[in-house]
Each structure stands twice: as structure tokens, then as C-alpha cells.
Amino acid sequence: MKKKLFLIWREEKKLCVREEDAMPRRPILAANWKMNLTSNQSKLLVDSILNNLGAPVNCEIILFPSFLHIPMIAEKIAGKNIGIGGQNLYFEEKGAYTGEIAAFQLVDSGCTHVLIGHSERRHYFHENYETVNKKVLRALSAGLKVMLCVGESLEERENNVTEMVVVDQIESAMQNISHKDMNDISIAYEPIWAIGTGRIATPDDAAHVHQIIRKALGRIFDKEIASKICILYGGSVKPDNIKEVMAEEDIDGVLVGGASLKTDSLLELMRFLN
Ligand code: PEP
């Protein structure tokens, strides 16, 4: 049933799924609220989603609020077909790690997902290939779905090493990940220079990197996994550019920061995908 709805969504927008695609991919809208919003502001934003959209049908919506607001939001969205995740976790199972959040605690608070390897974490908190991989493994073992972020810096893009950087990030994060685990992983390609800057990768450039990622996954796993996995684009996505971003065949959704913090733009993005 979902498969059919997905095909209709694509056809309405004149975006046909490639024939060789083993499985059409359901679009995802992920909202990363970062270190923003009070509890009341988060509540109001969630209320406006529920009042205006109800439960999404044609797309998957995943909210990444502050850790502190997760239980309150998880309760509100229960049964509404909306996912909720932490913006990070710690890779150890539990114990004396003051200030950290464990995977089992995210699950216990109602999380379905977790964001791992966001460029802000890699940059400000020195997450590296090894810690990102450990976090992915911990999240999966706790039953969370992982949204893995990858992307190059402006310097790397200007030095023409985007492909190498992104493939390295993917290969290192996928160490010891099984074919079965891949059912619970999506990838967000976020060129660092496009995050929060108002600059957006051209849809062609973004689509090119998405193809590289899909090809790398085909090489690491197999063709079916590469064709099934959702690869999102992130970096200054807004209501006035989502159409051109989503028009690219290999872009299966969007990870949105700034524009997901305001009711109007968030609803507009959701309406477009749903
Ligand atoms: C992000 O941080 O994941 C992001 C894409 O932010 P923005 O939409 O503000 O560029």
C-alpha cells in the first residue's frame, strides 16, 4: 500500500522511479532542532504539526529535538507515525561517563532514531571515524534507527576531494555493519559549507554525491541495499528550494535545520513531501 502511494507521489511531481529500482524509497523529512527551542516552543511546534498535518502518510517525518524534550514530544506523537530521535549518543553501553546519554536511555525515552556523525559533532566535539562507527554499532544494538551524516568541508570541495572524503566517511562508519543492519540506516549528505549558511549545493552537485554514496554502498554491501537505502540532502533546505532538491532522482529526502524551527516553513516543507 505504501509502495503504491509512493509511486503516486512521484508521478504527480513527474518524478518516475527508475525501472531497475528494486524498491521505491519513501521520502523522509528530518528536522534537526539542534540546541534551540524551549520546552514550550518545541511543544507548540509539535502541536502545529499534529493540528495541521495529522499523521503523515506519504513521507516519513523524524524530529530530532533537544534530549530534554524527547519524553514530552514522544508522548504527543505516539501513534501518529512520526519518528523521534536523539541528536547524538555515547558509544559505551552505560556507566561512569558524566554528562553523556546512552542508547538504551534514548530508547527508554521513546526514541526510534538517532542522528550520528553530524558535522557539528565532528567539528566541535572531535568525533572521528572510529567514534562514529562505535556510535552506529551501539545505536543499532539498542534497536535505534541511525541517520548517519556525511559531508565535505569547503576546503575539501575546493581541493576536489569531496568524493574521497565522503566515501571514507561511509566506509569507516560501516565497519562491522551487517547487511541486515542496513535496513535501519539512512544517510544524510550534508556539505558542511551549506549548513546554516544559506548556501545550497546545486541539485546536480548534490545528486552527484548521492550517486557516489549509493555506488559505495553497492560496493560495500550489494546492489539491492544501495537501491533501497534513503539518502537525504541537508544544507539550507527551505520551502523555496525543496522542489528542485527533491526533483533529483537520487535524493530521497531532506535533513533540515534552520527552516524546521519555524512553524510556517516546517509545515510547508512537510506539505510538499506529504
Ligand atoms: C543541519 O544542521 O543538519 C542542517 C541541514 O542545517 P540547515 O538546514 O540550517 O542548513
Span 174-229, pLDDT tens digits? 999 999 999 999 999 999 999 988 888 898 999 999 999 999 999 999 999 999 99
Spatial distance between the Cα atoms of 179 and 10, rounded to a whole number of angstroms: 27
For the stretch 57-70, pLDDT in tens is 889 999 999 999 99
Its pTM stands at 0.92
- Residue 11 counted as domain residue: no
Pocket test for ligand 1, best of 37, 256, 262 (most atoms within 8 A of CB): 256
The predicted pLDDT at position 150 comes to 98
For the stretch 223-269, pLDDT in tens is 999 999 999 999 999 999 999 999 998 999 999 999 999 999 999 99
- Residue 3 counted as domain residue: no
> Residue 181 has what DSSP assignment?
G
The domain total for the chain is 1
- Residue 62 counted as domain residue: yes
- Using CA atoms, how far residue 188 sits from 3, 28, 181, in Å, is 22, 10, 17
Kindly give the distance from the C-alpha atom of residue 72 to the centroid of ligand 1, in angstroms, as a whole number: 23
Domain membership of residue 121 as a residue range: 22-45+58-273
Asked if residue 258 has its Cβ within 6 Å of ligand 1, the reply is yes
- Residue 194 counted as domain residue: yes
The predicted pLDDT at position 198 comes to 85
The predicted pLDDT at position 45 comes to 97
- Residue 79 counted as domain residue: yes
Asked if residue 85 has its Cβ within 6 Å of ligand 1, the reply is no
- Residue 50 counted as domain residue: no
Percent of the chain at pLDDT exceeding 70: 92
Supply the CATH number for residue 241's domain.
3.20.20.70
Q: Which of 105, 3, 56 is nearest to 273 (CA)?
A: 56
- Residue 28 counted as domain residue: yes
Q: Single out the catalytic residue among 60, 118, 156, 210.
A: 118
- Residue 8 counted as domain residue: no
The predicted pLDDT at position 15 comes to 44
What is the number of the ligand 1 atom nearest to the C-alpha of 194?
A: 10
Residue 118 annotated as catalytic: yes
